[in-house]
């Protein structure tokens, strides 16, 4: 079976079965601030676990703010995000062809599409996890806050399942940028080398999907989330 066929089959089986983020939606409670509560979700990578959460830097709702990992803290609104389910990539392409390209639809139509909106203390900012608006994504592009709903750069196809191009995901999800044209080697949300506890904390970026020798996706490209205020 070809890689593309395996993606389609696995997506049909796993990613759409739960009608949501699949494995991402099965984890226990935890979100950054009590004001945001269960409305918000905290994203983290398998590399560091929920000790370090997706966050903006500096702490303000503005376009082009960098996105990093920050130590989990119940008083840090920079860690507050709301996950919006946009439906399948295929349905988005049918309705919003200016956002999803034909090539991306061909490869990932069965996957669910999402935006990750910054919502400090639960206040919607209309700014989402993304890359430069209107630009075709390239390896190494830095991930930052950009306006939601206007460009494919703020849309992510979420792969939940056993196979991503012949590789396993170990129960976490891979976030594929809808801005990529590298469909044979998709660009995904990536934590670069470095310690998130040291400042300046490494800026998240896009990198081609990578795997270890045993065909497991590298742990800095696997993501999950938790709900509710940090305890």
Query: What is the Cα–Cα distance from 70 to 5, expressed in whole angstroms?
Result: 37
The predicted pLDDT at position 82 comes to 93
Domain assignment present for 224: no
pLDDT digits (tens, 9 = 90+) for 86-120: 999 999 998 877 789 999 999 899 999 999 999 99
Which residue did the predictor score with more confidence, 30 or 102? 102
Domain assignment present for 132: yes
Query: What is the Cα–Cα distance from 125 to 59, expressed in whole angstroms?
Result: 12
**Beta strands at 205-208 and 127-130: parallel, antiparallel or unpaired:** unpaired
Average pLDDT over residues 172-177: 92
| CATH number assigned to the domain comprising residue 43 | 2.80.10.50
Task: Answer for the pair 32, 50: CB distance below 8 angstroms, yes or no.
Answer: no
| Whole-prediction pTM | 0.84
Which residue did the predictor score with more confidence, 37 or 112? 112
The predicted pLDDT at position 16 comes to 30
The predicted pLDDT at position 39 comes to 84
Tell how many helices (H) and how many strands (E) occur in the chain. Answer: 3, 12
Domain assignment present for 167: yes
The predicted pLDDT at position 60 comes to 86
Domain assignment present for 144: yes
Taking all residues of the chain, what is their mean pLDDT, rounded to a whole number? 81
Which residues, 6 or more positions from 135, have their beta carbon under 8 angstroms from its beta carbon? 141, 153, 179
Query: With 60 as the cut, is the pLDDT of residue 55 above it?
Result: yes
| Alpha-carbon distance values, 11 to 16, 83, 97, 107, 222 (Å) | 7, 19, 21, 11, 16
User: Which structural domain range is residue 52 located in?
Assistant: 3-79+87-218
- DSSP assignment string, 66-99: EEEEEE--TT-GGG-EEEEEEEEHHHHHHH-TTT
Query: With 60 as the cut, is the pLDDT of residue 224 above it?
Result: yes
Query: With 90 as the cut, is the pLDDT of residue 160 above it?
Result: no
Domain assignment present for 226: no
* DSSP-derived 3-state class of residue 225: strand
Domain assignment present for 228: no
Q: How many domains does the chain have?
A: 1
């Amino acid at each position: 079976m070809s890689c593309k066929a395996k993606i389609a089959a696995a997506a049909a089986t796993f990613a759409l079965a739960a009608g949501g983020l699949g494995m991402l939606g099965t984890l226990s409670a935890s979100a950054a601030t009590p004001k945001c509560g269960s409305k918000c979700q905290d994203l983290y990578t398998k590399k560091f676990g929920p000790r370090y959460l997706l966050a903006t830097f500096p702490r303000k709702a503005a376009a082009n703010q960098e996105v990093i990992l920050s130590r989990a803290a119940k008083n840090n609104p920079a860690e507050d995000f709301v996950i919006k389910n946009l439906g399948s990539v295929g349905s988005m392409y049918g309705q919003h062809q200016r956002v999803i390209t034909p090539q991306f639809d061909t490869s990932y139509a069965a996957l669910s599409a999402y935006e990750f909106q910054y919502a400090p203390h639960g206040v919607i900012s209309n700014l989402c996890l993304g890359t430069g608006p209107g630009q075709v994504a390239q390896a190494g592009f830095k991930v930052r806050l950009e306006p939601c709903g206007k460009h494919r750069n703020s849309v992510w196809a979420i792969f939940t399942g056993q196979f991503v191009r012949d590789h396993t995901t170990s129960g976490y999800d891979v976030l594929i940028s809808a801005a990529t044209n590298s469909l044979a080697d998709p660009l995904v949300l990536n934590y670069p080398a470095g310690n998130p506890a040291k400042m300046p904390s490494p800026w998240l970026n896009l990198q081609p999907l990578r795997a270890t020798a045993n065909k497991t996706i590298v742990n800095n490209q696997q993501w999950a989330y938790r709900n509710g205020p940090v305890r």
